[in-house]
Amino acid sequence: MNTAELLVRCLEAEGVEYIFGLPGEENLHVLEALQGSSIRFITTRHEQGAAFMADVYGRLTGRAGVCLSTLGPGATNLMTGVADANLDRAPLVAITGQVGTDRMHIESHQYLDLVAMFAPVTKWNAQIVRPSNTAEIVRKAFKIAQTEKPGAVHIDLPENIAAMAVEGSPLRPDNIEKSFASFRSIEKAAAAINEAKNPLILVGNGAIRCDASEMLTRFATRLNIPVANTFMGKGVIPYPHPLALWAVGLQQRDYISCGFDQADLVIAIGYDLIEYSPKKWNPEGTIPVIHVGSTPAEVDSSYVPIAEVVGDISDSLQEILYRCDRDGKPEPQALHLRADIRSDYAQYADDQEFPIKPQKLIYDLRQVMGAEDIVISDVGAHKMWMARHYHCHRPNTCIISNGFAAMGIAIPGAIAAKLVHPDRKVVAVTGDGGFMMNCQELETALRVGTPFVTIIFNDGGYGLIEWKQENHFGHSSFIKFGNPDFVKFAESMGLKGYRIKSAEELIPTLKEALEQEVPAVIDCPIDYRENLRFTQRAGDLSCAI
């Protein structure tokens, strides 16, 4: 047995189902070792796509997604997806091939110090330089990747080490026991909640990772406290729930901003500062905060908790609930916002203008998708609208990259989502800019049998940057580009292609596309004049109750 074969046996012991990546000279032994393995190797068209697939796989399953590249340019191509997983708190293990250790000390073809290069974008990384250490390195990589806060790790395997003979066997994966918060912190949090007149819950992706949705919904319901979620916390409380105030995280004021203005206590549950900076909702640090999470709070002058309840989130909420009594307390003021939020959402239901308004497209998408179906949002102007208008019944049914916020994630991410949940409808929502960054992975989707629908918000430019430029300078520059005929592009790859020509076509076209046995692409002209209109409305927003 050589080192590469032991590596693959260790990956099997970790329960790895898929490895996403590209073949190369320096990972030949790993690829050979995968012959006959229970692990399915998914050959992608670009290493970035491979990393994004592993990223979304990790976020949906809680188990580390694995991606593989060769050295040099293969490894640098992998980095964007690795960094995205790390900041989005998705468990991921990246494996790179490398030159032999016998030529690392001299100038060498395609050689880069990959351990140094990946260090800033991973939780931990290591190079295998002794074959006998392989099992320990792999076990440590998965343990670190999957432990809160989860993220990316990297293993670098030199080609001569991969070929060396070795004896050994995988280490047994261990189960990390839950930790529980101190009673002192729980009692302090409960006392503050009992005293608050206008408390507000802010929930982030950590509550989803820790499977705390059911307990959080019970907690909020029993105490009658309204709930706002970050972009990455969608679905943690069902959006029809009367206490749900939907998403917070836009870079400008919205209805929910009034809720924070009026709050005398924010209970942050599973909240991560990278999801939405506290300087946006607590700029002076004057709103008291309770931090409920599986790890301690990050240090930020706008986020200084009066109580830190650190431990299993569901258990912490249950213990706080035992000690809370809000009978006789007035209804929190933020609840009055819900009627305005719902009215704003529903007003686009019958809008028939064309090109389609983003609010209308997303409203119709929500009508077609079931409670368990999954959308993957790319990054761009459409992401802001998806965050604001696409609402979820369940956790992990709207995947938005908002830690690293990398363009190009939607199509690779949809492949991973369909592999994890082949029985669900999956839709990739992307702008035309993001689509062109990883559209080559649609061939991968066709080849591996993952039919999903890609909706392109087509405005012929980088819409989000245009929005920002117009806000800052009153004009835009350098953001327009040309596009191929997306229908012909799809058809040339053996896919189904559709072009929307009126607002009433969208729902029947989407339903038809979702029934196809091959991936489908829907080209939808979008009216991004709504961007500046929203900015104007937000500027005029009054918080009077």
In this prediction the pTM is 0.95
Superfamily of domain 183-334: TPP-binding domain (3.40.50.1220)
Collapse the DSSP code of 31 into the 3-class scheme (helix H, G, I; strand E, B; otherwise coil) and give the result: helix
545 contacts 479 by C-beta, under 8 angstroms: no
Q: Which residue has the tokens 């040309």?
A: 482
Which fold would CATH assign to domain 347-536?
Answer: Rossmann fold (3.40.50)
Residue 516 contacts residue 479 (beta carbons within 8 Å): no
Q: Which amino acid is at 213?
A: S
No. of helices (H) and no. of strands (E), the chain: 23, 18
Residue 4 Cα to chain centre, angstroms: 31
Calpha distance 342→13 (Å, rounded): 48
- Domain 3-163 and domain 347-536, same fold? Reply is yes
Per-residue pLDDT of the chain (545 residues; tens, 9 = 90+): 999 999 999 999 999 999 999 999 999 999 999 998 999 999 999 999 999 999 999 999 999 999 999 999 999 999 999 999 999 999 999 999 998 887 877 777 777 899 999 999 999 999 999 999 999 999 999 999 999 999 999 999 999 999 999 999 999 998 888 899 999 999 999 999 999 999 999 999 999 999 999 999 999 999 999 999 999 999 999 999 999 998 998 877 788 888 899 999 999 999 999 999 999 999 999 999 999 999 999 999 999 999 999 999 999 999 999 999 888 777 888 788 888 888 888 999 999 999 999 999 999 999 999 999 999 999 999 999 999 999 999 999 999 999 899 999 999 999 999 999 999 999 999 999 999 999 999 999 999 999 999 999 999 999 999 888 998 899 999 999 999 999 999 999 999 999 999 999 999 999 999 999 999 999 999 999 988 888 877 666 656 54
CA–CA gap between residue 407 and residue 201 (Å, rounded): 30
Question: Computed from CA positions of residues 261, 265, 269, 270, in that sequence, does the dihedral angle turn out positive or negative?
Answer: positive
The answer to whether residues 508 and 500 touch, using CB atoms and an 8 Å cutoff, is: no
Tokens describing residue 450: 């993952």
Sketch the domain layout of the chain as residue ranges.
Answer: 3-163, 183-334, 347-536
CATH number of this structure's domain 3-163, picked from the four choices 3.40.190.80, 3.30.70.260, 3.30.230.10, 3.40.50.970:
3.40.50.970
DSSP, res 369:
S
Question: What torsion do the CA atoms of 271, 285, 315, 185 make, to the nearest 10 degrees?
Answer: 150
